Amino acid sequence: MNAPAIPMTFKCRAHDAVHDAQLRRNFRGAMDFLMAKRAAQFPDGDELERLRSFGNAVRARALSKLPELLERLETNLTRNGVKVHWAETVDEANAIVHDIVRAHEARQVIKGKSMVSEEMEMNHYLEGHGVDCLESDMGEFIVQLGNEKPSHIIMPAIHLNAGQVASLFHDKLEVDYTEDVDRLIQIGRETLRRKFYEADIGVSGVNFAVAETGSLLLVENEGNGRMSTTVPPVHIAVTGIEKVVENLRDVVPLLSLLTRSATGQPITTYVNVISGPRKAEELDGPQEVHLVLLDNGRSQAFADSELRQTLNCIRCGACMNHCPVYTRIGGHAYGTVYPGPIGKIITPHMLGLEATKDLPSASSLCGACGEVCPVKIPIPAILRRLREENVRAPDDEPRHMRGQGSKYSRAEGLAWKGWRLLNTSPRLYRLFNLAATRLSALTPPKLGPWTEHHSAPKAAPRSLHELAREHLGED
Amino acid sequence: MSNGTSNTASNATRLAPPLAAARTYPEQKPSDVYLFGTCVLDLFFPDAGMDAIRLLEREGIRVHFPQGQSCCGQPAYTSGYTDDAREVARAQLALFARDWPVVVPSGSCAGMFRHHYPELFAGEPDTLKQVDALSARTYELAEFLLEVCKIRLEDRGAPVKVALHTSCSARREMGTHVHGRALLAQLEQVERVDHDHESECCGFGGTFSVRMPDIAGAMVRDKTAALKGSGAAEVVSADCGCLLNINGAFEKQYERLRGEHLASFLLRRSGGKADGGQS
Ligand code: SF4
């Protein structure tokens, strides 16, 4: 049976994206802006390095005791009155949310920004069950209005410029066309504001789940997160199991790294710390708070010491902002919820390598992502590792990943064996070089994909081996 | 601006802090070094290899070029064929057995020796000792000329504007972009100009450029456009993979500009005989 044609479609989407001049301009401009903002936050390279090492250590420590911290988190959240649910798959997570929705006979859900809810395709799922799920983050709202998916984990609508948003609002909200960004935001806010009071349930993501205190931290800039988690009578937070940290002290460096790396802000406008539902003497807040902890393949990454580092991620998006591939093709071309470098290394655990096999190859391994990652995930090394898992024989033991060997090819394996023979046998290598240099004139003018953008490379008349032999003698 | 640690060009690019600070260099210039020529240079830029040898010889160093050498193993390594890469690496190991420094005229192959060989042999404690020793005495050419040879270059050429492209490995793994810049800064008549998005990858990435031609093609088109737009009359780089990529694209675009290997440029400017590099 052939695997679904996802590899082709990635290349097709990438092809279309690099030829979309408007999209290229939008992304280049936006990424340049975000890179400059981040750079301005870290004027001192040494401080940045120290902070990154600190952030890495905090995340590594949390992961090293992940099961224990998750248990503590559950205990302390429960003590605070938060109901904790565990979901291994997105289907389970959706079913949990649906149960809560049903119990409250909810018709309208309002949602703050949450990539895990995107992972679950919660909007789509709830819609299928007759429940309207409205996005309250401005970027998400725009994307939902346009029937699109987020193209960036922090800036969901970054692929659109003001003119495109203006047209969208004009069409869908029937307002006068304006490219005035402040006015556009105003229009969006007015539309949303009404909905906050109509919603039965508010959904949010989580940036850090603090085990020691049983608190959920949520950062945002628009206040929609605070509205979504406090106005409706029920709040459901959804998050991945890796988001747990040990204590509030650990949050300090991570928060600083997150906001500075993501949007170049010293701190976000809002930092919400949610530690349970409304207490008897309190005037506001939800009556019920739920946390859904989702695995969705994270355990597979966790089980391998190298791949586990993927779970250090604090979802700042800096890796995509600095990625030359992401900048060229944008977020949608990846066809995955998480685009860019982090998407390439986390999605194979969620969907299996068979459905994502082209992603690890879509990198020049330039290292820009690893250089900026605030928690020092060695993204290029992990990409290389995924390539290795991709080309291993499907039945090779031990197995580390679902979809191992999805790019396994006997022919390619043999070609590399030939390459190995050539490069381990000096006499063969000498013969090859002799042939390559002497027959250089016979180089065909077309060499597969290479000559789409380059002329065919021609070997020099004599190799360095020959020239050096003449100059230095045999060595 | 020649210290290379900051980039004032208004192009939203940044340069990593110099990693070189983390490395200590021998006080004494050695009498002998090995040259690891790299497979791309061997076939496509052999003159640059000879120019590297001449630069080192001019510093009074005897250069050894083990004829059994081939490739550092990187193409297989980055493609995920780790076992094949390891065997090719093993074949090189035996050839550089004396404790002379190994000088590599390419940042990415130097990075392979220095950072990835220890990963490749992590499971073989005996070999690892040998590998660690090799890794510790591997230098990228520009780094070696500047920090170990303490070379002083005297410019004999006419005034010229030059753009320097540093490979991603040179910059991020080896931290040698600062050395390339410092060497150019020694040449009085040479003005190094920034180019747009200087720290961005040229799109080579070994097999990446063949596996993902659309994306890699977009990257190299932007890179060549930036180099052209910099106002530089010449383009210099110390990495043959990038040169193969950039020059191939220039040629395809019927551009006259070609990148030259840093070794050839330095030798030519400082009065040594250079065989070219404009191939
Ligand atoms: S991988 Fe690193 S840079 Fe990318 S989103 Fe996660 S934390 Fe940020």
Residue B63: count other Cβ atoms within 10 Å of its Cβ.
Answer: 21
Residue window 9-28, chain A: list those with CB within 8 Å of chain B: 11, 14-15, 18, 24
Whether A35 contacts chain B with CB within 8 A: yes
User: Where are chain A's structural domains?
Assistant: 42-299, 410-472
Instruction: Provide the ipTM.
Output: 0.92
Is B91 in Cβ contact with A467 (below 8 Å)?
Answer: no
CATH for B27-147 is 1.20.1050
For B62-98, the pLDDT digits (tens) are 999 999 999 999 999 999 999 999 999 999 999 999 9
Q: What's the gap in Å between A35 CA and the centre of ligand 1?
A: 14
Span(s) in chain B for CATH 3.40.50.11810: 153-269
A60 touches chain B (CB under 8 A): no
Amino acid making up residue B52 = A
B16 touches chain A (CB under 8 A): yes
User: C-alpha dihedral over A158, A163, A168, A174, to 10 degrees?
Assistant: 140
Three-state DSSP at A33 gives: helix
Six token digits for residue A159: 């692929």
Whether B204 has its CB under 8 Å from any CB of chain A: the answer is yes
CATH code of the domain occupying B153-269? 3.40.50.11810
Residues 329-358 of A with CB under 8 A from B: 329
Query: Among B96, B212, B256, B273, which would you mutate to test the A interface (most chain A Cβ atoms within 10 Å of its Cβ)?
Result: B212
- Numbered ranges of CATH 1.20.1050 in chain B: 27-147
User: Looking at beta carbons, which residues of chain B come within 8 Å of A430?
Assistant: 67
Residue B253 has pLDDT above 70, yes or no: yes
Render each residue's pLDDT in chain A as its tens digit; 475 residues. Answer: 444 444 458 889 999 999 999 999 999 999 999 999 999 999 999 999 999 999 999 999 999 999 999 999 999 999 999 999 999 999 999 999 999 999 999 999 999 999 999 999 999 999 999 999 999 999 999 999 999 999 999 999 999 999 999 999 999 999 999 999 999 999 999 989 888 989 999 999 999 999 999 999 999 999 999 999 999 999 999 999 999 999 999 999 999 999 999 999 999 999 999 999 999 999 889 999 999 999 999 999 999 999 999 999 999 999 999 999 999 999 999 999 999 999 999 999 999 999 999 999 999 999 999 999 999 999 999 999 999 999 999 999 999 999 999 999 999 999 999 999 999 999 999 999 888 888 877 777 777 888 888 988 889 999 999 999 999 987 7
Nearest chain B CA: its distance from A406 CA (Å): 13
Q: Determine which residue's CA is closest to atom 4 belonging to ligand 1.
A: A319
The set of residues, in sequence order, having a beta carbon less than 8 Å from that of A75 and lying 6+ positions away, is A214
Question: What is residue B274's predicted lDDT score, i.e. its pLDDT?
Answer: 55
Assign domain A42-299 to a CATH class.
alpha beta
Q: How many CB atoms lie within 10 A of CB B222?
A: 21
Q: Which of A328, A385, A423 sits opposite B218 (nearest CB)?
A: A328
A310 CA closest ligand 1 atom index: 1
Interface check for A63 against chain B (CB to CB < 8 A): the answer is no
* Nearest CA residue ID for atom 8, ligand 1: A316
CB contact under 8 A, B201 and A364: yes
B121 touches chain A (CB under 8 A): no
Does B1 have pLDDT greater than 70? no
Residue B273 pLDDT level (bands cut at 50, 70, 90): low
Could you tell me the two tokens for A63?
């992961």
What pLDDT, on a 0 to 100 scale, did the predictor assign at position B272?
A: 79
Chain B interface includes A426 (CB < 8 A): yes
Rg from Cα positions in chain B: 18
CA of A342 to the centre of ligand 1 (A): 6
**pLDDT band of B10, cuts 50, 70, 90:** very low
3-state secondary structure string across chain B: CCCCCCCCCCCCCCCCCCHHHHCCCCCCCCCEEEECCCHHHHHHCHHHHHHHHHHHHHCCCEEECCCCCCCCCHHHHHHCCHHHHHHHHHHHHHHHCCCCCEEECCHHHHHHHHHHHHHHCCCCHHHHHHHHHHHHCEEEHHHHHHHHCCCCCCCCCCCEEEEEECCHHHHHHCCCHHHHHHHHHHCCCEEEECCCCCCCCCCCCCCHHHHCHHHHHHHHHHHHHHHHHCCCCEEEECCHHHHHHHHHHHHHCCCCCCEEEHHHHHHHHCCCCCCCCCC
Task: Calculate helix-pair angle for B240-252, B213-229, nearest 10 degrees.
Answer: 80
Ligand 1 mutation pick, A153, A342, A347, max ligand atoms within 8 A of CB? A342
Q: Is B215 exposed, middle or buried (0-12, 13-18, 19+ CB in 10 A)?
A: buried
pLDDT at position A441, please?
A: 78
pLDDT for the residue numbered B64: 97
Q: Please check whether residue B215 is in contact with residue B248, taking contact to mean a CB–CB distance below 8 angstroms.
A: no
Identify the DSSP state of A457.
P
- Chain B CB within 8 Å of residue A362 CB: yes
Residue A474 pLDDT: 76
Give the one of A45, A324, A464 whose C-beta lies nearest to B41's C-beta: A464
Contact criterion met (CB < 8 Å) for B212 and A416: no
Encoded tokens for A77: 């959240």
Ligand 1 residue neighbourhood (C-beta within 6 Å): A 313-319, 341-342, 373-375, 377
